[in-house]
Structure 1
Amino acid sequence: MKLSTEEADLFFKLMWALQFYVKQELGICPELSDVARYKDDCSLEDKSVIRQAVYDNSHLIDKFVAENPSGFTTEELAIVSQWKGFLQGDFYIERFLKKHTIFVSYQTEAVYGVQGLYEALDEMFYSAQLPALVKAVLLPFKGKIVYDGLLHGYNVSFGRGISGNIKDAYLKAKQNNRIIDSFDVPSATLLARPAKKQAIKDWQPEIRVLQAQAKQLKAGDAYPALYSPVFSLVKMSLDLAEQATADNVDKDALYKMLRKMGLTVNRAYKLLEREDD
């Protein structure tokens, strides 16, 4: 979940050159007269100011690309030009995956798959620290999403409620195939696309066999009272499975079935509580 060394080298070559150009255009730190001195000698505080100046004056990205003061190739300039599509804001780092790190937007709950640069993000944060709230700038880079090299962390922790909401935002995006791992895909297209569907087994025949068998489950007065709701739950579960695995799933019907099952579960609880030890 990080760039290759070659990709990270390229990213920083382009970023240092762009930041130096913006520094020169705005007259910041004039004593740093070339990119190498800027990279090595500029303080972190001054670099933070210049970094923000890039995003506050994004028209200078076009100017940099047009003038090409560093003699970059067409491909390299195309990468820099895409940085006008930066996304700046606060994000929760929700979890680390093999493919990328999950960022959840604080503002919109949109979910992003972000690559590290020289270091994977799980080398910078511990899993036990998550979710962590950071201020970041996300950038497109060669079909991936990266951060721009600087993360500002907030010294806050979150209880189960907020942590659960952040987790739900990720799980919803995962379930509906809406984790944004490239800015090359327009947002409207991403929101419209359906969840990925693979060829899966048709369970309907097996479920119908089980439904037929479950019809034999009957509980009369001769049986313990608990049998009745338990047998009903077996039959309801199979009906739910039949509806959930149908070609055209009726969500309203599923909700109705689940509510009915909930009432039956409550009935079973009551009967169990009344049982003598």
Structure 2
Amino acid sequence: MQLPPEEADYFFSLFKPLLVYTNQKFQINPDIRKPEDIEKCPFETTVKIRYTLYENPELFDNFIHENSDNLSREDISIIQSWKDFLLEEFFVFRYLKKYTIFLTSDEPTKAYGVLSLYSPFEEIVGSDLPKLVETVLLPFKDKIVSDGIFKSSNIFFGSGIRGRLKESYELAKTRFGIITSLTNSVSEIETADIAKLKTYLKSQNNLVKHWNEIQILKDKSLELKQLYYQEIGKIYANKYSKQWREIGLNNVWFALFEDMPIASGKTQADVERTVKQILTNPQKKFVYYFHLKGK
């Protein structure tokens, strides 16, 4: 997904003059005097000017101050927002309809939904993901864009790293959501432990793979223990549902304690009464109830 052409034009109508201003202040290339010159100069020169801008963020305010008569309120707001830029290494992880997912390479992993400018990221980065790149993310009209300059590597990532990145992505989504604005503060949706436990309990495969970590996490607090029993109940409810439907069960309520079916009945109330009779009080809060409906 990329910006509409008119928005990409607007972006560069602000960004190129800012590069020209930076070039003039630091006297990097005397041949660059106007925005059109940026398009003609060597790529290495553009990169040098661009790094100089981000290394001297006071240039954003200075540019606004010296050009305020030629800037609209929206222009000023956008340029000021660019002080929240992110210059980092990212994993270009996945192409989605709305945006491309960029994962931070440091901890805690965050997932950004990023739009390209004129060319789709697939043309710039390639279709073989993940790809490690260095670029700058900028806020633009309540969206996140790349500034269009990439430094990429040709490192091939094997199945092990790909698997870890997939887990990091799921954890980032659970913990922070997909971040689509740089002007709003990023807060945790859930604590790191809750996010990890949910990710580890997302499937039977994850359950087996992370069994030892799960046992440590679930004993950290009552909240985590309750989450463990509910999430593991969902896993086994999905597993058993297919088997029970195959033998003709339909419209039945069940109670699971971890992976064990411990009660069933025609209504949830029936099942809850049975559970009260067979389990002690501390155990009752960990029971997972579910309704087996027809196909």
Partners in 1 of 2:132 and 2:17 — Cα distance?
A: 29
- Structure 2 equivalent of residue 64 of structure 1: 63
Within 5 A, what are the aligned runs for 1:3-82? 3-37=3-37, 39-68=38-67, 71-82=70-81
SS of 2:10 mapped into structure 1? helix
Q: CA deviation at 1:233?
A: 5.8
Q: Which amino acid aligns with 2:2?
A: K
Confirm or deny: 8 A CA contact 2:84 2:139 kept in the other structure: yes
Of residues 251, 261, 267 in structure 2, which corresponds to 1:235? Answer: 261
Q: Which amino acid aligns with 2:180?
A: D
Partners in 2 of 1:40 and 1:70 — Cα distance?
A: 25
- Structure 2 equivalent of residue 200 of structure 1: none
Partners in 1 of 2:263 and 2:63 — Cα distance?
A: 63
- Structure ranking higher on relative contact order (CA contacts 8 Å, 6+ apart): 1
Instruction: Work out whether 1:178 is the aligned partner of 2:182.
Output: no
- Structure 2 equivalent of residue 211 of structure 1: 254
- Structure 1 equivalent of residue 146 of structure 2: 147
Partners in 2 of 1:44 and 1:70 — Cα distance?
A: 31
| Cα deviation 1:24-71 (Å, max 9, x = unaligned) | 01111123222222x232111111100100001111111001111781
Confirm or deny: 8 A CA contact 2:84 2:183 kept in the other structure: no
Q: CA deviation at 1:125?
A: 3.4
Q: TM-score, normalised by structure 1?
A: 0.68
Seen in structure 2, the aligned counterparts of structure 1 residues 70 and 13 have a Cα distance that, compared at 3 Å, is farther
Q: Which amino acid aligns with 1:31?
A: D
Seen in structure 2, the aligned counterparts of structure 1 residues 190 and 114 have a Cα distance that, compared at 3 Å, is farther
Confirm or deny: 8 A CA contact 1:100 1:114 kept in the other structure: yes
Q: Which amino acid aligns with 2:99?
A: H
Confirm or deny: 8 A CA contact 1:102 1:114 kept in the other structure: yes
Q: Which amino acid aligns with 1:15?
A: F
Q: Which amino acid aligns with 1:113?
A: G
Q: Which amino acid aligns with 1:235?
A: P
Partners in 2 of 1:51 and 1:190 — Cα distance?
A: 34
**Mind listing any 5+ residue stretches in structure 2 that lack a counterpart?**
196-233, 238-248, 269-282, 288-295
Partners in 2 of 1:107 and 1:156 — Cα distance?
A: 17
Seen in structure 2, the aligned counterparts of structure 1 residues 59 and 172 have a Cα distance that, compared at 3 Å, is same
Confirm or deny: 8 A CA contact 1:136 1:150 kept in the other structure: yes
Q: CA deviation at 1:123?
A: 2.9
Instruction: Work out whether 1:111 is the aligned partner of 2:130.
Output: no
Seen in structure 2, the aligned counterparts of structure 1 residues 46 and 143 have a Cα distance that, compared at 3 Å, is same
SS of 1:145 mapped into structure 2? strand
Q: CA deviation at 1:119?
A: 1.4
Instruction: Work out whether 1:133 is the aligned partner of 2:159.
Output: no
SS of 1:184 mapped into structure 2? coil
Q: CA deviation at 1:110?
A: 1.1
Q: CA deviation at 1:88?
A: 0.7
Of the structure 1 ranges 115-124 and 98-107, higher mean CA displacement relative to structure 2 is found in 115-124
Seen in structure 2, the aligned counterparts of structure 1 residues 173 and 253 have a Cα distance that, compared at 3 Å, is farther
Confirm or deny: 8 A CA contact 2:104 2:111 kept in the other structure: yes
SS of 2:137 mapped into structure 1? strand
Q: Which amino acid aligns with 1:119?
A: S
Q: CA deviation at 1:78?
A: 1.1
Partners in 2 of 1:90 and 1:112 — Cα distance?
A: 12
Q: Which amino acid aligns with 2:254?
A: Q
Partners in 1 of 2:174 and 2:162 — Cα distance?
A: 18
Number of aligned positions between the proteins: 215
Confirm or deny: 8 A CA contact 1:17 1:70 kept in the other structure: no
Q: CA deviation at 1:170?
A: 1.5
Question: Going by fraction, where is strand more abundant, 1 or 2?
Answer: 2
Instruction: Work out whether 1:187 is the aligned partner of 2:186.
Output: yes
Confirm or deny: 8 A CA contact 1:178 1:191 kept in the other structure: no
Q: CA deviation at 1:97?
A: 0.4
Q: Which amino acid aligns with 2:13?
A: K
Partners in 1 of 2:91 and 2:263 — Cα distance?
A: 37
Which one has the largest radius of gyration? Answer: 1
Q: Percent identity?
A: 36
Seen in structure 2, the aligned counterparts of structure 1 residues 88 and 191 have a Cα distance that, compared at 3 Å, is farther
